[in-house]
Amino acid sequence: MPITIAPCGRELEVRKVGADGQVKKHLRELGIAEGSKVTLLSQSGGNVILIVKEGRLCLDRSLAGKILVA
């Protein structure tokens, strides 16, 4: 499921990042890659705030929709 519709407050595993090359590389450098764990902190209008490793990361609706989690 896309991370935009995932339940808040749960640790989720990233299954697939559907972005193109440079964006995918940048997300991987931030800690969002296949197999990594993230926690969805909040979501509003499709925009999301994630806890990735030790920090928080805000993603807009278009980018967040490309991240599939389980």
Domains of the chain: 3-69 (2.30.30.90)
pTM confidence score:
0.89
Q: Provide the pLDDT for residue 10.
A: 93
- Nearest-CA neighbor of 6 among 61, 56, 35, 48? 48
pLDDT digits (tens, 9 = 90+) for 1-36: 999 999 999 999 999 999 899 999 999 999 999 999
Please tell me the predicted confidence (pLDDT) of residue 63.
Answer: 93
Burial of 19 (0-12, 13-18, 19+ CB in 10 A): middle
What pLDDT score does 46 carry? 83
